[in-house]
Amino acid sequence: MSENITRRGVLRNLAGIVGGILAMPAGRTCKAAVQHGLATSSAPKGYDPTKHKWLMALDVDRCIGCGMCVEACKAENSVPQSNFRTWIERYVITRPKAGSGESRGETFVDSLNGGIAGFKPSLIPKEDILKSFFVPKLCNQCENSPCSQVCPVGATFESPDGVVLVDKNYCIGCGFCIQACPYGCRFFNTTTNTADKCTMCYHRITRGLRPACVEICPSQARIFGDMKNPIADDPLQKFIENNKTQGLKDHLGTKPRVRYAGLDEEVR
């Protein structure tokens, strides 16, 4: 190619560059207008996610295994029949064999239908049971969540107010997050064809209501609150002060925002 710089050519190129730069704000305005038209929202007004930090605590000693929370969650979030955003596990630990020198026998865990209709008496005879208890489970809302780290499209994320959420319009349904969750708290929703999980009832907490499971729990086994705006006599603050709390699988470094008190060593 020959070096052939003409005045006309240079001016044309310059005009093109200037025109392009001038067109940028117009493009931006166009884009904003289109996006504004597409998005219709009835979201609660005046909720600033950066001014809250939600936390849930679970008191294992207070769970009576009635399954009301599972039922409440299903109804609130239209969770498909075979999936659960929250569920209850029953642990039955048998007595050790006489003379074995062990502290405990075998451990049996069951959760028929997530415990939605409560639990029928265990098949293990009462005299063989060393101890037995219920453990409510739900998404641990990790601060350092493995599920949002593996999402290839930025569809799942840790919100500024401490909840791990799924953007259903962005999720491509690859299922990486479902495999990444060490707690098995995610599932594939076949109605929406996206990953699905507990949102801590984000549509309720942003309106000043408690999550459905916390609202319906008859024994205050679930305690919920805002760590940035404690209310007078905050039950969550009191609970954290009065109990030795821990998260599930804390050694993984996921930093769960769901804290447990009264956990047995068998619970993972």
Partner 1 sequence: MFKMPPQIIRLVLLTIGIVCAYFTARYFLTPASFGQYGHYRGNALQEIASREPYWAGRKTCDTCHGEIVKKLAKAEHQGLSCETCHGPSKVHVDNPEIKLPKMSYSQCVRCHEASPSRPKWLHQITPNKHYTGQVCSECHVPHQPNEVP
Q: Which is nearer to partner 1, 27 or 184 (CB)?
A: 27
Of 7-15, 162-170, 172-180, 243-251: span binding partner 1 (CB under 8 A): 162-170
Q: Is 80 in the site for partner 1 (CB under 8 A)?
A: no
**Residues touching partner 1: how many (CB under 8 A)?**
65
| List 54, 84, 87, 119, residue binding partner 1 (CB under 8 A) | 119
Q: Is 216 in the site for partner 1 (CB under 8 A)?
A: yes
Please tell me the distance from the alpha carbon of residue 201 to that of residue 209, in angstroms, as a whole number: 9
Largest CA distance in the chain: 102
From the list 31, 228, 238, 268, which residue makes contact with partner 1 (rule: CB under 8 A)? Answer: 31
Spatial distance between the Cα atoms of 72 and 213, rounded to a whole number of angstroms: 6
According to the binding rule CB under 8 A, does residue 107 interact with partner 1?
no
Q: Which of 27, 184, 230, 253 binds partner 1 (CB under 8 A)?
A: 27
Buried b (16+ CB within 10 A) or exposed e, 228-251: eeeeeebebeebbeebebebbeee
Specify the residue, 161 or 181, whose C-beta has the smaller distance to partner 1: 161
Helices (H), the chain: 7-38, 68-77, 146-150, 176-180, 202-205, 212-216, 235-242
Q: What b/e string do you get for 104-119 counting C-beta neighbours within 10 Å, with b at 16 or more? A: ebeebeebeebbbeeb
* Strands, E assignment, the chain: 54-59, 86-94, 107-110, 129-138, 156-158, 164-166, 187-189, 194-196, 222-226, 245-246, 258-261
Stretch that binds partner 1, among 5-13, 183-191, 202-210, 237-245 (CB under 8 A): 202-210
Residue 57 in the binding site for partner 1 (CB under 8 A): no
d(C-alpha 212, C-alpha 204), whole Å: 8
Interacting span for partner 1 (CB under 8 A) from 7-15, 24-32, 96-104, 245-253: 24-32
Of positions 132, 192, 243, 246, contacts partner 1 by CB under 8 A = 132
Nearer to partner 1, 159 or 237 (CB): 159
> What is the C-alpha separation between 228 and 224, in angstroms, rounded?
13
Helix/strand/coil for 148: helix
Is 41 a binding residue for partner 1 by CB under 8 A? The answer is yes
Considering only residues 165 to 184 of the shown chain, the ones binding partner 1 according to CB under 8 A are 165, 167-170
| Contact positions vs partner 1 (CB under 8 A) | 1, 27, 31-32, 35, 39, 41-44, 47, 49-50, 61-68, 72, 75-76, 90-92, 118-119, 121-122, 126, 129, 132-134, 154-160, 165, 167-170, 199, 201-204, 206-210, 212, 215-220
